[in-house]
Amino acid sequence: MDRAELIARLTPIIATYAQDKDAVASINETTDFIKDLKINSANLVDVILDVEEEFDIEIDNLSMERMLNVSAAMEIIEDKLKTK
Amino acid sequence: MDNRVVVTGLGVVAPNGVGLTAFTDAIKNGTSGIKHDPLLEQLQFSCQIAGKPELSDDFIAQYFTALELRNFNSTGILYGVIAGMDAWKDAGLTITEGDEPDWDCGTIFGTGTSGIDKFRESIYKVDDLQLRKLGSTVVVQTMASGISAYLGGKLGLGNQTTTNSSACITGTESILMAYERIKTGQATKMLAGSTSDSGPYIWAGFDAMKVCTYKHNSSPEQGSRPMSASASGFVPGSGAGAMVLESLDSALKRNATIYGEIIGGHINSGGQRCTGTMTAPNSIAVQRCIKGALQNAGIKASEVDAINGHLTATSKDATEIQNWSIALNRKGSDFPYINSLKSTIGHCLSAAGSIECVASILQLHHDFIFPNINCEDLNPEISDAIDFNRIPQQLLNTNVNIVAKASFGFGDVNACIILKKYAK
């Protein structure tokens, strides 16, 4: 999967929780979930659950902790897909 | 000096009407909201009828964001938020925008349980070793204070934001507690009310105790029969009632509609002594509660025009009437008018007190006594104590100045509130 496709699949998941809807339109690898998209920190765990379902992977506690922005999310997803 | 406390906004989500207009029409017409419930039948309940508010998805979407509705499974919070926000809007109040909450506005919004369906869903997941799949939505929907937390956030309340819980007196108690807070100058406006979850998992325990009627599964609208000789147990209900209480000064300053004034009340317990048990009232405590409310309000028993009773449609109804009669020292044709909203909506448990207080305030504001249904065959113990015409079977358009409303609950707890038409 190339990175553009990955972002395309990630965007609708993130959009559900983003309170700054304008920021969703310009999602890129540097976008931060909390600072840029104003996702409520309690919802980060929901983002992760949705990502797991979308990509059929399981994200460990350690990875969860650092999944705070788009680039970390992409890295973790790619990593988990490789070891599937 | 103490503040006078008035009611400036009302909201209601009841089995026979959602919103003030529908609800007012329903109670005036004696429209029943009791229906056969296929789920209760499927689960082999003895009582297969219930009172549930009807809400469409489109309507719900006016109160909750799409994100809030994701994995949302708490009827109590649903009803409470709608009733609470409606009361706020009805009071002509706006939602606090920006970074600063309104420090002078709070809420006391009670419930018996919160999100019982959400709880059930979570328990199954946990036992199935799927704990991590619970996500972030379980705690806020199942914590008892979920309802006050939702309302506090939606409205931007900066004063006390809490949930009380005391079985079937919960709603009446929340209003009295909010009243005290304004009276003593600790808040200017309080959203007071209560809510109750719907469905088999909240009602099952009552069904198992055999306190609900099993005789009307094919005649739901005749099922809830407070004060009737053929009363055979209560019909479970659910919903929410809410009111904005406000200091008179604040209400006058902003030229708000004043529905009525709260002039006092009393809350006590029978301590499960004498005739009192976990599930039955100590009559001495009930009488003290009513007398205490009159004293607190500074009125004489003769000034009470109407009583809105607890009257659930069990054998305890006659005892309640006797307690009112003794406490007020009034009987026969001298007894005030009395009615029970449970005849049309069933027993809404933790929401009962607040929905019934909304109905009582509407009676004051619009000068009517809503009819009782299903008690044409009056319990003889009741007809021995008070005249038949004190228990209206038809809508009565009459001047109503003071209503005494009481609720009694498991744990042998009592609450009585005195509501008065507002006069300068």
Residue in chain B lying closest to A17 (CA) = B67
> Alpha-carbon distance A56 to A65, whole Å?
19
**Per-residue buried b or exposed e for B24-40, using 16+ beta carbons within 10 Å of the residue's own CB:** bebbbebbbbbbbbeeb
Q: Are B350 and B206 in contact (CB under 8 A)?
A: no
**B66 and A46: CB-CB below 8 Å?**
no
pLDDT band at A1 (very low <50, low <70, confident <90, very high): confident
**Does residue B198 carry a pLDDT above 80?**
yes
Residue in chain B lying closest to A46 (CA) = B135
**B136 and A16: CB-CB below 8 Å?**
no
pLDDT 10s digits, B249-289: 999 999 999 999 999 999 999 999 999 999 999 999 999 99
CATH of B265-420, one of 2.40.10.500, 3.30.210.10, 3.40.47.10, 3.40.190.10: 3.40.47.10
> Alpha-carbon distance B111 to B114, whole Å?
7
Which residues, in sequence order, are CB contacts of B129 under 8 Å at separation 6+?
none
> Alpha-carbon distance B403 to B338, whole Å?
9
> Alpha-carbon distance B237 to B397, whole Å?
27
Q: C-alpha distances in angstroms, B405 versus B310, B338, B359, B416?
A: 8, 10, 10, 6
pLDDT of residue B97: 85
pLDDT of residue B32: 98
Q: Domain ranges in chain B? A: 5-253, 265-420
The stretch A33-37 carries a mean pLDDT of 95
What dihedral do alpha carbons B126, B127, B128, B132 form, nearest 10°? 20
pLDDT of residue B153: 97
In this complex, is the C-beta atom of A64 within 8 Å of any C-beta atom belonging to chain B? no
**Does residue B366 carry a pLDDT above 90?**
yes
Which residues, in sequence order, are CB contacts of B145 under 8 Å at separation 6+?
B114, B162, B163
> Alpha-carbon distance B149 to B16, whole Å?
27
The stretch B141-160 carries a mean pLDDT of 98
Residue type at B75 in one-letter notation: T
Q: What global pTM score does this model have?
A: 0.97
pLDDT of residue A2: 87
pLDDT of residue B281: 96
**B136 and A17: CB-CB below 8 Å?**
no
Q: How far is A30 from chain B (nearest CA, A)?
A: 24
> Alpha-carbon distance B193 to B354, whole Å?
5
Q: How far is A29 from chain B (nearest CA, A)?
A: 24
CATH architecture of the domain covering B5-253: 3-Layer(aba) Sandwich (3.40)
Answer whether B5-253 and B265-420 agree in fold. yes
* Residue-number span of the structural domain to which A71 is assigned: 3-82
Q: Dihedral of CA B308/B83/B189/B24: which sign?
A: negative
> Alpha-carbon distance B82 to B64, whole Å?
9
Q: Are B258 and B6 in contact (CB under 8 A)?
A: yes
pLDDT of residue B313: 97
pLDDT of residue B1: 79
**Does residue A42 carry a pLDDT above 90?**
yes
The stretch A62-77 carries a mean pLDDT of 95
As a whole-number percent, the residues of chain B with pLDDT over 70 amount to: 100
In this complex, is the C-beta atom of A17 within 8 Å of any C-beta atom belonging to chain B? yes
> Alpha-carbon distance B60 to B85, whole Å?
12
**Does residue B155 carry a pLDDT above 80?**
yes
**Does residue B84 carry a pLDDT above 80?**
yes
pLDDT 10s digits, B7-60: 999 999 999 999 999 999 999 999 999 999 999 999 999 999 999 999 999 999
pLDDT of residue B176: 98
Q: C-alpha distances in angstroms, B161 versus B180, B276, B414?
A: 14, 32, 23
pLDDT of residue B275: 94
pLDDT band at B161 (very low <50, low <70, confident <90, very high): very high
Here the CATH number for the domain that contains residue A54 is 1.10.1200.10
pLDDT of residue B80: 98
Number of domains in chain A: 1
Closest listed residue to residue B50, CA positions, set B172, B202, B194: B202
**Does residue A8 carry a pLDDT above 90?**
yes
**Does residue A13 carry a pLDDT above 90?**
yes
pLDDT of residue B401: 98
Provide the mean pLDDT of chain B: 97
**Does residue B315 carry a pLDDT above 90?**
no
pLDDT of residue B131: 94
> Alpha-carbon distance B249 to B247, whole Å?
5
> Alpha-carbon distance B255 to B257, whole Å?
7
**Per-residue buried b or exposed e for B334-363, using 16+ beta carbons within 10 Å of the residue's own CB:** ebbbbbbbbbbbbbbbbbbbbbbbbbbbbb
| Least confident stretch, B70-79, B89-98, B99-108, B174-183 | B89-98
Sort out which chain A residues have CB atoms less than 8 A from B99's CB and list them: none
Q: C-alpha distances in angstroms, B55 versus B25, B293, B365?
A: 18, 36, 27
pLDDT 10s digits, B204-218: 999 999 999 999 999
**B133 and A49: CB-CB below 8 Å?**
yes
Which residues, in sequence order, are CB contacts of B57 under 8 Å at separation 6+?
none
pLDDT 10s digits, B95-129: 988 999 999 999 999 999 999 999 999 999 999 99
